[in-house]
Amino acid sequence: MKENLDPGEETNTNEESTLDNVHHVNNPVLDLPQIEKKYLDEIKSYSQSENTYYFYDGVAKVEVKVITDEIIRVRLAPQGTFLEDFSYAIAKKTHRISRHQCIEEEDAYLVKTNTVTCKISKKDFLISFENREGKIMNADHSPMHWEENPDAGGYYVYCTKQTESKEAFYGLGDKASTFNLRGRRFTNWNSDTYAFAFNQDPLYKTIPFYIGLNDGDAYGIFFDNTFKTYFDFASEDPVKTSFWSEGGELQYYYIHGPHMIDVVRRYHVLTGTHYLPPLWAIGYHQCRWSYYPEANVRHVAEEFRKRQIPCDAIYLDIDYMDGYRCFTWNKQYFPDPKKMIFDLANDGFKTVVMIDPGLKVDENYWVFKEGKENKYFCRRGDDYFMEGYVWPGRCQFPDFTNPEVREWWGTLYQGLVEDGVAGFWNDMNEPAVFGRGTFPDDVRHNFDGQRGSHRKAHNVYGMQMVRATYDGLKKLYKNKRPFTITRAAYAGTQRYSSVWTGDNMATWEHLKIGVLQLQRLSVSGISFCGTDIGGFTGEPDGELYTRWVQFGVFSPFMRVHSAGDTRDREPWSFGEDWEKICKKFIELRYKLLPYIYSVFWEQTRYGYPILRPISLIEQHIESNWQREEEFSFGEKILVSPVLNPGQQSKIVYLPEGDWYYYFNNHIFQGGQEHNIETPLDEMPIFVKAGSVIAEYPVMQHTGEKKIEELLLNVYFGKGINKSYLYTDHGDTFAYEQDVYLEKCFITSGTDHSLDIKQQLKGLFTERYEEYDLKLIQLPFDIQKVLVDGKEIGYQKDESGYYRVRVSKDFEDILIQG
């Protein structure tokens, strides 16, 4: 009887009974679910864990996490289980939150901070973000949705936002498009795009971050997803902006403004700022594919010094290597590289060399041998090595997403560092493979223990390569700052490297593209950026080359570079007249180094973008949203490069306030356009009234001259204005222990007086003792100068400007008329 059976016997009897009733067919599952897009449904419940709130529709789960008062993260788990919380983009730091809470209303949940409200609609799971006044800054057009990927696993994930009728969009890295992205669709998939065209996409970098300008107020969206991603800015539908991915997690950060510059700064709070470069890295650099043999390198260096054209660095492209094997020297071309580098250094030149990721398959090549023995190379899905052809021939490639591989890679630079190499240039790291473009999707990666295919790792491969380079160099150089440059990048790369825009062309169109790209990169979190001045491929004439050098002075990274099958591209290559103009502008770069270095400090310390487009400076003026040719370098200097051949003048818009034309100190009123003449030896450069701009004497390289006294150009302006000047050792990390000097000059001008106050911060001590103040366009004749209450003398120079010499430690200068 049943009651006499033990529990196990009862279970077996039930199983047998169940099995007897099964109707066996070839395909017992008759109703396979159809693969289709699925949307979030009505919210069933919510829960909280510290600063994270979870909302659940019965199947899917959404996380709303408060990062700071102004930053909120949203994540979607289609089946209710989130992936590991891991990101290469996000900097490891502690964030401060004043307060947060979740308020349940009849129709919605409100996750509130002191600044932002994230509203989650109960009925349809639509998410929106509001400011303190209740203005909707950003809102879902449809609920987040997804579609199963049966071939690769995981999901395609989608987010669609409402787009206002006049909303403008900026950012997304190096896109070669109009500055306002509205009406365009883009793909993020790092690609080797030789001689790319205007509107060609994708390019070399993936920065899935954009800024929306909604009725004069700004917000940011950072879609932190390393798979191939897409962005549609009201292109398919004028009322929708969408972003989606072929895999990974739907995870984005809402970043509040309302000012564009605050959005950029808060994006840097998430992803980190640029490391502070050594001072020589922001001088003028000369590069070519390739300078070899040694005699050619020495000749170029000698010509710079003979012609007295400043230059801080000379680059060696792949031909310095032995058969393009990284970390080797071609001893036929460079028989004694250490002596050559030593001699160049004695003449003020740093040596920068290229390193690619592809390592030649050669059992006698020590780097390949080490990598093979330690299983450091990428493998395919069926465990074959990932092999492809690049410059050395058949190559294998390190898996830079493996921390052990990154550690090893960093040690490989030791020999070159001991030879005296000062900087390293990581190229071909999209990664590029001849014939097929890049790695196949089935290549496997460690992904710092998270594991994944190349679909997941592709866009971070270059970033992790230059990360390994930077971290290794930091150990090898000890207390000296490394200098690195990379072609491929993902969000957060600024923590490890500068960038350039890749293999451009020697055309006027590409000069225009470069102006757009550098502004876009700067507001996308990668300020230390530059173009190949003069164009990498093709043949510029003297005018195009010279106009590009002029733009290069106000590019954060200033480097001339060209392909080996083009004519020489040194500043003297186009004749004496063009050489004279190029020399004048390169000298200007060196005069402005104290200002330029201070702007870099503002990026490193405070997260300010180095290049600032007009739409960022004056976002409240709608007509400025489309401006592309004017931008400021830092806050105080505004430029508008000449972008057309034979151009005798151009219309330049100046922001509100007064501006001084740099070359003659003529004052222009801002808030309007001006027709500015553009002779070949000038370009529109303006200094904001009220600025204090430090200036160095012309040097042939940074550090050539000791500063005996520092020239301060004081551009008179009414009202109160602040200017900053930063200085330190120039090449060490002592600034991290407060061994730096940050000065704030506060000027207050009236019709009859000018007051200058100085505030100091930091522990660094300069070698000079005095300032030489050049007072520009005072509206009165000086009657008296008081420095910290004591009257001192003054004089006029040959140009009619008042000059005042004061101690570098002054606190207050009062100039009375």
Question: Is the Cβ–Cβ distance between 297 and 314 less than 8 Å?
Answer: yes
Q: Based on the residue annotation, tell me whether 769 is a catalytic residue of this protein.
A: no
CA-CA distance, 426 to 493, in Å (whole number)? 13
Q: Is 430 a catalytic residue?
A: yes
Q: In sequence order, what are the residues at sequence separation of 6 or more whose Cβ sits closer than 8 angstroms to the Cβ of residue 531?
A: 500, 501, 504, 510, 514, 517, 518, 548, 552, 555
Give the Cβ contact number of residue 216 at 10 Å: 14
**Pick the catalytic residue: 201, 249, 427, 731?**
427
DSSP secondary structure string, 304-358?
HHHHT----EEEE-GGGSBTTBTT---TTT-S-HHHHHHHHHHTT-EEEEEE-S-
**C-alpha–C-alpha distance, residues 621 and 168, integer Å:** 12
Whether residue 147 lies in the annotated active site:
no
The residue ranges of DSSP E strands in 629-684, in sequence order, are: 631-633, 637-639, 649-654, 658-661, 667-669, 672-677
CA angle 759, 764, 768 (to 5 degrees): 85
Euclidean distance between CA atoms 277 and 486, whole angstroms: 14
Nearest alpha-carbon partner for 223 in 242, 205, 243: 243
Tell me the backbone φ, ψ of residue 143, rounded to 5 degrees: -60, 155
CB 182 within 8 A of CB 204: no
Q: Measure the CA–CA gap between 189 and 454, rounded to whole angstroms.
A: 11
Which one is catalytic: 503, 543, 728, 731? 503
309, 571 Cβ separation under 8 angstroms: yes
* Interatomic CA distance for residues 291 and 288, integer angstroms: 6
Q: Residue 621: what residue type?
A: I
- CB under 8 Å to 758, separation ≥6 — which residues? 743, 744, 745, 746, 810, 811, 812
Rounded to the nearest 5 percent, the helix, strand and coil shares of the chain are: 20, 30, 45
One-letter identity of residue 659: W
Given the residues 192, 232, 294, 430, the one annotated as active site: 430
Helix (H), strand (E) at residue 411: helix 403-411
**How far apart are alpha carbons 444 and 377 in whole angstroms?**
10
The catalytic residues are 427, 430, 503
